[in-house]
Amino acid sequence: MKIALDAMGGDEAPEALVTGAKLALEISASKCPNLQIILFGPKSTLEPHFEQGLPERLEFYDISDSESSSDDPHIAGADPDSIIRTALRKHREGFCDAVVSAGPTGAQVLASLLELEKCSGITRPAVGAALPALYGCCYLIDVGASLVASAHHLVQFAAMGIIYAREILNIAEPRVGLLNVGVEEQIGERNVIEAYRLLTESGFLFVGNVEGCDVLKGKAEVIVTNGFTGNVLLKFLEGVPEFLTKLLKPAEDERLLNHLDRQLDYQQFGGEPLLGIRGVSIICHGASSPRAIASAILRAAMIVEKRLPEKIESFLEGKFTSYFSRIKYLRSFRRGLRT
């Protein structure tokens, strides 16, 4: 299995990426010995980082980063010669099985949409994040692949979230919650009220509206919302440990702070796939540490093995149809796809 790594994406590129790749190879030596990593980037820049010689399961794909280094995500994502576009194109062509990048999310989403097809039944791909919860964890989707979401988009997020939770998070029967400002059925913006209705008829294990305070309670294993709100919430949670560390400083209880840090550490997840496309495109935090990059690479391998994109597609085409054929939902869903 070949995982492409955008060696020039992220705040600490290429150091964090190179070190992360080495770490992933070490960790995978016993568990996943067929894992190979292709570093996409200028060979002349990357080679000096391997004074001891190239590790066995690592190679370069020599490409200069020219335009792709632009700060504007639209330019990097739209430039067919950028590293991220090239890696995703090679992925489509079958040269590699997944692409991992810590470059700008916007550029990677745009590049993924330009280079890879959407899954049948999906009009709006999305990226989720597994947050800790009181019991198990909670998969929040979307966290920023796009900013606004229609009722139909929210239902698609739910479907993709269910598959992700089942396949990757090992939650057999994930419950779906709709993030809202209250639990009443008729509360919220029009698209959210409509999503409530569609989810009720979806055959999913839909628990209704959930509020901000329900996220960490684990009231649902999959919580759907628009990308703007999801992104703000995810990043807010990332800021909590630093805040608490300063807050609890007077206690000077190192053990406790470490415990807290481990629990709220987003780096254990490393990166999250853009769901709803025919391919594996893993989006990492720009400030990813080598450990986060290594986690993302291993997660990519897991997603490739589990054939997640195919499963999303067959869920939408197969079970989804039988779920909804009796209830008028599918017609309105298809109408949604056409409009």
Contact pattern from residue 55 through residue 94 relative to its own copies, giving x for each residue in contact according to CB under 8 A and a dash for the rest: ----------------xx----------------------
Question: Smallest distance, Å, CB 233 to its own copies?
Answer: 6
Question: Which one of 88-96, 114-122, 141-149, 305-313 is the stretch in contact with its own copies (CB under 8 A)?
Answer: 141-149
For its own copies, the closer of residues 71 and 93 by Cβ is 71
Question: Which one of 48-56, 152-160, 228-236, 309-317 is the stretch in contact with its own copies (CB under 8 A)?
Answer: 228-236
For its own copies, the closer of residues 144 and 279 by Cβ is 144
From the centroid of its chain, how far is CA 18? 21
For its own copies, the closer of residues 138 and 199 by Cβ is 138
Question: Which one of 5-13, 49-57, 209-217, 315-323 is the stretch in contact with its own copies (CB under 8 A)?
Answer: 209-217
Question: Which one of 42-50, 117-125, 252-260, 322-330 is the stretch in contact with its own copies (CB under 8 A)?
Answer: 252-260
The residue from 51, 255, 338, 339 that contacts its own copies (CB under 8 A) is 255
Question: Which one of 3-11, 156-164, 229-237, 302-310 is the stretch in contact with its own copies (CB under 8 A)?
Answer: 229-237
Q: Can residue 267 be called a binding residue for its own copies (CB under 8 A)? A: no
Question: Smallest distance, Å, CB 135 to its own copies?
Answer: 9
Q: Can residue 186 be called a binding residue for its own copies (CB under 8 A)? A: yes
The residue from 38, 198, 199, 215 that contacts its own copies (CB under 8 A) is 215
Half-sphere exposure (CA, 13 Å, Cβ side) for 14?
24
Question: Smallest distance, Å, CB 339 to its own copies?
Answer: 20
Tokens at 312, concatenated: 């999303």
Q: Can residue 337 be called a binding residue for its own copies (CB under 8 A)? A: no
Q: What is the CA radius of gyration of the chain?
A: 20
Per-residue HEC secondary structure of the chain comes to CEEEEECCCCCCCCHHHHHHHHHHHHHHHHHCCCCEEEEEECHHHHHHHCCCCCCCCEEEEECCCHHHHCCCHHHHHHCCCCHHHHHHHHHHCCCCCEEEECCCHHHHHHHHHHHCCECCCCCCCEEEEEEECCCCEEEEECCCCCCCCCHHHHHHHHHHHHHHHHHCCCCCCCCEEEECCCCCCCCCCHHHHHHHHHHHCCCCCEEEEECHHHCCCCCCCEEECCHHHHHHHHHHHHHHHHHHHHHHHHHCCHHHHHHHHHHCCHHHCCEEEEECECCCEEEECCCCCHHHHHHHHHHHHHHHHHCHHHHHHHHHHHHHHHHHCCCCHHHHHHHHHHC
The residue from 50, 60, 228, 269 that contacts its own copies (CB under 8 A) is 228
Q: Can residue 11 be called a binding residue for its own copies (CB under 8 A)? A: no
Q: From 160, 212, 207, 152, select the one nearest 182 (Cα to Cα).
A: 212
**Under 8 Å between Cβ of 230 and 141:** yes
Question: Smallest distance, Å, CB 242 to its own copies?
Answer: 7
Question: Smallest distance, Å, CB 212 to its own copies?
Answer: 3
Question: Smallest distance, Å, CB 290 to its own copies?
Answer: 21
Binding stretches for its own copies (CB under 8 A): 71-72, 106, 132-134, 144, 147-148, 179, 181-182, 184, 186-189, 211-217, 225, 227-229, 231-240, 242-244, 246-248, 250-251, 253, 255-256, 259-260, 263
